[in-house]
């Protein structure tokens, strides 16, 4: 009987994240659009942290004497219906929108990814209870996704009340199915790979295989989806505020800024809603491009890893096959 190196056969999924990061740095060949998007992305993060501090005017103090002033040297983008400087409010608005979007997306991942692992790993399982758990998760998901996302989020906020906590919960809830389906699909592809078989042979439980070995190998597409979902969450938050179900004035938020200024466009005061609308479009577009960039940089490595059967080389795969064969012979 040949001696088998268990360490060689054990999947190296713990280092998958570091290897992906290394590939990202070494192989970064960015187009001009991607460079611009990354610069804007850095600016958005800076404004989310320090925007209110660098605003030249108060962002929540009304001044009726300065109501609806056109863009000028004193007020670069004009003033809104309450006499507040639009430029100052645009500098402060990313803090609210990005905070809600990032926290909501994080909650969506924390709930959706584990449920996706369970649903994907146990789908079609011979054990009836495990299979029923996976099927139950997917049927519940079908019920949630039967409703339009925006309408569903608006109803949830209306039931609980329009405050930051409830908006975060609503945005997280409607985005959770995206990550559940994504992770489930990845797990369905990965669960029969040789590295998963190796983990099973060396004595890992089903949950250990799912969360310790399969989930880390599903991270590249998950990272891409996180970036895209943050942009969508910002758009959803602004939409809720636009219809009056989100953040209320005078808190600087892009949706309520657009809503307040839209009624004055017909009378020629276009600046209160135009500039926040442009800013919202740029932010959402930036997060989408950043997500596509990360996906492009991670995709080749991820495809190559799958072609190699995860992180196992040919020798390790042979060792796994021998272990399985010997185990069957003993039994």
> Rounded distance, CA 160 to CA 165, Å?
10
Residue 70 has pLDDT above 80, yes or no: yes
At 278, the pLDDT band (50, 70, 90 cuts) reads very high
Residue 12 has pLDDT above 50, yes or no: no
At 142, the pLDDT band (50, 70, 90 cuts) reads confident
Q: What is the CATH number of domain 6-18+27-322?
A: 1.10.3720.10
- Look at residue 30 in the predicted model and tell me its pLDDT: 84
Residue 21, C-beta contacts closer than 8 angstroms, at least 6 positions apart = none
The model's pLDDT over 316-330, given as tens digits with 9 standing for 90+, comes to 444 455 554 555 554
At 212, the pLDDT band (50, 70, 90 cuts) reads confident
Residue 217 has pLDDT above 80, yes or no: yes
Residue 296 has pLDDT above 60, yes or no: yes
- Look at residue 319 in the predicted model and tell me its pLDDT: 46
- Segment of 141-155, 233-247, 286-300 carrying the highest mean pLDDT: 233-247
- Look at residue 249 in the predicted model and tell me its pLDDT: 87
Q: Are 78 and 86 in contact (CB under 8 A)?
A: yes
- Each domain of the chain, given as residue ranges in start order, spans 6-18+27-322
Nearest to 290 by CA among 36, 110, 18: 36
The model's pLDDT over 22-61, given as tens digits with 9 standing for 90+, comes to 555 555 678 899 999 999 999 999 999 999 999 999 999 9
Bridge partners of 85?
79
CA angle 23, 44, 64 (to 5 degrees): 175
> Rounded distance, CA 160 to CA 245, Å?
11
Computed over every residue of the chain, the mean pLDDT equals 82
């Amino acid at each position: 009987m040949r001696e088998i190196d268990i360490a060689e056969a054990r999947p190296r999924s713990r280092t998958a994240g570091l290897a992906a990061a290394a590939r990202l740095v070494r192989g970064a060949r960015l187009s001009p659009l991607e460079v611009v998007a990354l610069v804007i992305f850095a600016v958005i993060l800076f404004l989310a942290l320090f925007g209110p501090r660098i605003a030249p005017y108060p962002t929540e103090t009304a001044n009726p004497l300065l109501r609806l002033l056109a863009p000028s040297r004193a007020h670069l983008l004009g003033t809104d219906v309450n006499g507040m400087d639009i430029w100052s409010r645009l500098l402060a608005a990313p803090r609210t929108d990005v905070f809600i979007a990032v926290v909501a997306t994080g909650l969506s991942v924390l709930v959706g990814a584990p449920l996706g692992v369970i649903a994907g790993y146990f789908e079609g399982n011979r054990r009836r209870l495990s299979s029923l758990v996976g099927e139950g998760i997917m049927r519940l998901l079908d019920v949630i996704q039967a409703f339009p996302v925006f309408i569903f989020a608006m109803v949830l906020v209306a039931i609980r009340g329009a405050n930051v906590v409830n908006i975060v919960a609503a945005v997280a809830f409607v985005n959770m199915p995206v990550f559940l389906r994504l992770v489930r699909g990845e797990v369905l592809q990965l669960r029969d790979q040789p590295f998963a078989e190796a983990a099973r042979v060396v004595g890992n439980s089903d949950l250990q295989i799912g969360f310790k070995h399969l989930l880390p190998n599903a991270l590249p597409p998950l990272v891409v989806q996180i970036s895209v979902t943050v942009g969508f969450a910002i758009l959803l938050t602004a939409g809720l505020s636009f219809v009056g179900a989100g953040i209320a004035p005078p808190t600087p938020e892009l949706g309520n800024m657009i809503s307040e200024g839209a009624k004055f466009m017909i009378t020629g005061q276009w600046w209160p809603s135009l500039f926040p609308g442009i800013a919202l479009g740029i932010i959402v577009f930036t997060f989408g491009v950043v997500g596509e960039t990360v996906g492009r940089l991670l995709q080749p490595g991820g495809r190559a890893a799958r072609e190699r059967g995860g992180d196992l080389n040919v020798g390790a795969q042979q060792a796994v096959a021998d272990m399985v064969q010997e185990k069957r012979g003993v039994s």
